[in-house]
């Protein structure tokens, strides 16, 4: 069924034959928010750059040995302290005589684990809190929103400082992810709540309950999937922010233990020799910045692509 | 207006109680001996332990502990730091320094937002605009402490244009570099708001009318375009004020600025958990209070908010 059987013809003034005016071609390409966004993204070179960076980091965090033959943490020799680059060690050595390049490669896994875990925790708390508050409204909304307000009012980096100081014996990836994600969810809950509030009055939601679906099932099946757009954008950018938060906490010495390979730890240690060997400070900082840039870029490109107004302006 | 202020203040009460309770809860309801845990890897001596238990009323039920703690906050008794100084005394000394730093940062942030946003908005889609959008993306991605090190290394050490660290004598001049770096890491939000509203304003009827009646760009841009675009930037800058005060820990640590953030930084580095907790609480309270003041400022600036 590519064309409708019935079409209307009109003879334009002054021209030759009659012209179809309302022919509907059902064979033309489909269009919805995500398809349009995808078509838009595919035309943007920055999207591919961001995607490539993310891919490289993901591969490096799953299989670090693909990028470096230096095993983690056991080739450090003080004789190499702050050494210049040499064959097999393209970025030189740290103060402890460890290979800068291999530490950066192994550090990718730490950053990505924290980033992904924080995103999971943030989503697991923020989405239900926002969705339930927005969908059920009333007293539940008041209670959940007040709880959200409290978490929203504590600057999340400060909260993470307290958690990590208190749990000083348990400095690992899981603790730090909870310290960050446990306070970052409040903004997401606000976004989800607003989105659910917007959607819940729409006809297809009423139709779903009218057809006998329970309220909760309608929320999960119809409302939530349609409110995911801003959530995905938020979480992509939050992943980058979580990586920065981990590095900042490690930099303060309350992040991951010094035996864990983390860009924040490397930066923190290299800071002491900023005058004599700035490159040991520069490389992990660059890795950190490029990674965060990739995620923020990805998030913002997707947001732009999903926003028809922004698309029209370009 | 009075009703709005009252309502806003009433709304702040649960938030204030909640935030302090949350921090208090995290520290004192954790498994194990909270006082022992405060010391981390160090072994405290028994007198220290006993003093701390007495100081935090640990022999009382949890809620009583919390209420006693709140009473302390309201009566200005904020406890002591690890080295035995009055916290309120330390605050009196350090807070003005932090305020000075943040004020300078906020002013620079505002100027950057307005100027760059205006230029970029007026040249939308041109080279300058595209360059600005890319620069903004990179700047938002550079973690604050990396930006600080870059500034410290290139401007402080290589070029020698500014002192590498500030030290005890925190003058406006010495703090200009850290303030500029803070501003560079946060101006992007305001700049985007400015750029967006300039682009919008340029297509407004009143701007077209202004051109149509023969006014020159020199008059239209500052009076008709820029002035109307300023409102969101002003509110955004005000909103960033509280966040910046709460977020000076790393900046003041790296540049060794003797402010509140640096006190917290030193306490973190030395693992002095009780001091860390009391300063985080104070910074959180300041953050909450500043945000209330900013909300009230909105209401003064924009009458529409009062009637929502």
The Cα–Cα gap between A83 and B85 comes to 44
**Running DSSP on this structure, what letter comes out for residue A271?**
G
Question: Based on the domain organization, do B58 and B170 belong to the same domain?
Answer: no
The Cα–Cα gap between A54 and A228 comes to 21
Helix axes A278-306, A33-42, angle to 10 degrees: 140
Is A247 a domain residue?
yes
Helix axes B260-270, B87-122, angle to 10 degrees: 110
- Does B142 score more than 50 pLDDT? yes
Question: Based on the domain organization, do B108 and B61 belong to the same domain?
Answer: no
Question: Based on the domain organization, do B20 and B164 belong to the same domain?
Answer: no
Is B254 a domain residue?
yes
pLDDT, residue A14, reads: 65
Is A19 a domain residue?
no
pLDDT, residue B141, reads: 87
pLDDT, residue A261, reads: 82
* Residues A150, B18: C-beta atoms closer than 8 Å: yes
Question: Based on the domain organization, do B98 and B48 belong to the same domain?
Answer: no
The Cα–Cα gap between A232 and A295 comes to 12
Residue A76 phi/psi, 5° resolution? -70, 125
The Cα–Cα gap between A163 and A176 comes to 8
B44 vs B95, residue with greater confidence: B95
The Cα–Cα gap between A238 and A292 comes to 10
Count structural domains, chain B.
Answer: 2
pLDDT, residue B115, reads: 93
Q: CA of A268: which chain B residue's CA is closest?
A: B145
H-helix or E-strand spanning residue A20: strand A19-20
| 3-state SS, residue B307 | coil
pLDDT, residue B104, reads: 94
pLDDT, residue A12, reads: 63
Is any Cβ of chain A less than 8 angstroms from the Cβ of B36?
no
Residue B124 · residue B230 · CB < 8 Å: no
- Does B221 score more than 90 pLDDT? no
Q: CA of B270: which chain A residue's CA is closest?
A: A253
Which pLDDT tens digit goes with each residue over B146-161? 888 888 888 887 887 8
Place of tokens 């900013």: B294
Q: CA of B245: which chain A residue's CA is closest?
A: A155
Q: Which two three-digit tokens encode residue A115?
A: 């980033």
Question: Based on the domain organization, do B36 and B126 belong to the same domain?
Answer: no
pLDDT, residue B35, reads: 65
Residue B11 · residue B269 · CB < 8 Å: no
Is B82 a domain residue?
no
Burial of B179 from C-beta contacts in 10 A (0-12 / 13-18 / 19+): buried
Is A254 a domain residue?
yes
Residue B242 · residue B298 · CB < 8 Å: no
Q: Which two three-digit tokens encode residue A51?
A: 């995607």
Residue B71 · residue B64 · CB < 8 Å: no
* Residues A153, B277: C-beta atoms closer than 8 Å: no
Question: Based on the domain organization, do B45 and B101 belong to the same domain?
Answer: no
* Residues B141, A166: C-beta atoms closer than 8 Å: no
CATH number of the domain to which B137 belongs: 1.10.3720.10
Which of A146, A161, A296 is nearest residue B14 as measured by Cβ atoms? A146
Is A7 a domain residue?
no
Is any Cβ of chain A less than 8 angstroms from the Cβ of B149?
yes
Range of weakest confidence among A150-164, B18-32, B61-75, B111-125: B18-32
pTM equals 0.83
Q: Measuring CA to CA, which residue among A305, A137, A306, A312 is closest to residue A219?
A: A137
* Residues A296, B137: C-beta atoms closer than 8 Å: yes
Is B94 a domain residue?
yes
Question: Based on the domain organization, do B144 and B68 belong to the same domain?
Answer: no
Is B83 a domain residue?
no
Is any Cβ of chain B less than 8 angstroms from the Cβ of A181?
no
| 3-state SS, residue A21 | coil
Is B206 a domain residue?
yes
* CB count in 10 Å sphere of residue A23: 12
Q: What is the pLDDT along chain A (314 residues), one digit of tens a residue?
A: 445 555 666 666 666 666 666 665 555 566 677 788 888 888 888 889 999 999 999 998 888 777 777 776 656 666 666 667 776 677 677 766 677 788 888 888 989 999 999 999 999 999 999 999 999 988 999 899 889 988 888 888 888 888 888 887 778 899 999 999 998 899 999 999 999 998 888 888 889 888 988 888 888 888 888 888 889 889 998 999 999 999 999 888 888 877 788 888 888 888 877 777 788 888 889 999 999 999 988 988 888 888 766 666 55
A264 vs B113, residue with greater confidence: B113
Question: Based on the domain organization, do B154 and B180 belong to the same domain?
Answer: yes
pLDDT, residue A1, reads: 43
The Cα–Cα gap between A189 and A192 comes to 5
Question: Based on the domain organization, do B184 and B232 belong to the same domain?
Answer: yes
B57 vs A148, residue with greater confidence: A148
Question: Based on the domain organization, do B187 and B59 belong to the same domain?
Answer: no
- CB hemisphere CA count around B270 (13 angstroms): 14
Is A145 a domain residue?
yes
CATH number of the domain to which A302 belongs: 1.10.3720.10
Find the domain containing B63 and state its range: 2-74
| 3-state SS, residue A213 | coil
Residue B213 CA, chain-centre distance (Å), reads 45
Calculate mean pLDDT across residues B135-145: 88
Is A12 a domain residue?
no
Calculate mean pLDDT across residues B93-113: 93
Find the domain containing A113 and state its range: 52-73+95-313
Is A78 a domain residue?
no
Question: Based on the domain organization, do B58 and B94 belong to the same domain?
Answer: no
Is any Cβ of chain A less than 8 angstroms from the Cβ of B131?
no
What is the interface pTM, i.e. ipTM, of the complex? 0.81
Count structural domains, chain A.
Answer: 1
Question: Based on the domain organization, do B93 and B177 belong to the same domain?
Answer: yes
pLDDT, residue A4, reads: 53
- Chain B from 243 to 262: CB within 8 A of any A CB: 243, 246-247, 249-250, 253-254
Which pLDDT tens digit goes with each residue over B241-266? 888 988 888 889 888 889 898 888 88
Which domain-ending residue is among B46, B74, B102? B74
pLDDT, residue A120, reads: 96
Which pLDDT tens digit goes with each residue over B266-281? 888 887 777 888 888 8
Which of B23, B143, B287 is nearest residue A292 as measured by Cβ atoms? B143
Residue B26 phi/psi, 5° resolution? -55, -40
Q: In terms of DSSP H, where are the helices of chain B?
A: 2-28, 34-38, 46-55, 62-74, 87-122, 127-141, 144-151, 176-202, 205-212, 217-220, 227-246, 249-255, 260-270, 273-301, 303-306
Give the CA distances from residue B291 to residues A29, B239, B295, in Å, rounded to whole numbers and listed in that order. Answer: 49, 7, 6
Which domain-ending residue is among B74, B104, B131? B74
| Distance in Å, alpha carbon of A236 to nearest chain B alpha carbon | 13
């Amino acid at each position: 069924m590519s064309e409708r059987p019935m079409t209307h013809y009109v003879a334009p003034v002054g021209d030759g034959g009659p012209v179809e005016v309302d022919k509907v071609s059902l064979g033309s390409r489909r269009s919805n928010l995500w398809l349009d966004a995808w078509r838009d993204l595919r035309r943007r070179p920055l999207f591919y750059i961001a995607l490539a960076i993310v891919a490289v980091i993901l591969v490096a965090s799953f299989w670090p040995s693909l990028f470096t033959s230096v095993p983690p943490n056991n080739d450090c020799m003080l004789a190499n302290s702050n050494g210049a680059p040499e064959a097999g060690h393209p970025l030189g050595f740290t103060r402890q005589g460890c290979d800068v390049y291999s530490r950066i490669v192994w550090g990718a896994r730490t950053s990505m684990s924290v980033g992904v875990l924080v995103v999971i925790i943030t989503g697991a708390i923020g989405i239900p809190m926002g969705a339930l508050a927005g969908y059920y409204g009333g007293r539940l909304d008041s209670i959940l929103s007040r709880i959200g307000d409290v978490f929203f009012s504590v600057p999340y980096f400060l909260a993470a400082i307290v958690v990590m100081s208190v749990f000083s014996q348990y400095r690992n990836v899981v603790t730090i992810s909870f310290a960050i994600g446990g306070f970052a969810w409040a903004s997401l809950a606000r976004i989800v709540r607003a989105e659910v509030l917007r959607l819940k009055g729409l006809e297809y939601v009423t139709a779903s309950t009218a057809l006998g679906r329970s309220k909760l099932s309608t929320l999960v099946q119809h409302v939530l999937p349609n409110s995911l757009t801003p959530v995905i954008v938020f979480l992509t950018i939050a992943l980058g922010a979580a990586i920065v938060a981990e590095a900042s906490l490690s930099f303060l010495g309350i992040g991951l233990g010094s035996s864990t390979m983390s860009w924040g730890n490397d930066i923190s240690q290299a800071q002491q020799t900023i005058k004599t060997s700035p490159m040991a400070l520069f490389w992990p900082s660059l890795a950190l910045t490029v990674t965060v840039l990739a995620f923020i870029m990805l998030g913002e490109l997707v947001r732009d692509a999903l926003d028809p107004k922004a698309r029209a302006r370009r | 207006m009075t009703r709005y202020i009252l309502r806003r203040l009433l709304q702040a009460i649960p938030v204030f109680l909640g935030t302090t309770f949350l921090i208090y809860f995290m520290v004192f309801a954790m498994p194990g001996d909270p006082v022992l845990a405060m010391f981390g890897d160090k072994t405290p001596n028994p007198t220290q332990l006993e003093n701390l238990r007495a100081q935090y009323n640990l022999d009382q039920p949890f809620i009583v502990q919390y209420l006693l703690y709140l009473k302390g906050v309201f009566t200005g008794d904020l406890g002591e730091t690890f080295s035995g100084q009055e916290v309120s005394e330390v605050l009196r000394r350090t807070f003005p320094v932090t305020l000075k730093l943040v004020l300078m940062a906020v002013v620079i942030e505002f100027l950057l937002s307005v100027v760059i946003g205006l230029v970029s908005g007026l040249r939308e889609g041109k080279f300058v605009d595209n360059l600005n959008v890319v620069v903004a993306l990179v700047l938002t991605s550079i973690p604050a402490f990396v930006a600080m090190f870059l500034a410290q290394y290139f401007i402080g050490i290589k070029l020698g244009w500014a002192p590498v660290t500030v030290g005890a004598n925190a003058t406006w001049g010495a703090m200009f570099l850290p303030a500029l770096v803070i501003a560079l890491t946060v101006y992007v939000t305001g700049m985007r708001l400015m750029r967006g509203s300039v682009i919008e304003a340029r297509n407004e009827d009143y701007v077209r009318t202004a051109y149509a009646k023969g006014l020159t760009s020199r008059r239209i841009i500052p009076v008709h375009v820029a002035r109307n675009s300023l409102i969101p930037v002003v509110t955004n800058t005000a909103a960033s004020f509280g966040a910046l005060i709460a977020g000076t820990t790393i900046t003041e640590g790296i540049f060794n600025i003797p402010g509140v953030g640096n006190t917290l930084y030193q306490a973190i580095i030395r693992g002095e958990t009780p001091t860390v907790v009391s300063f985080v609480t104070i910074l959180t309270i300041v953050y909450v209070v500043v945000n209330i003041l900013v909300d009230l400022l909105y209401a003064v600036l924009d009458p529409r908010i009062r009637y929502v």
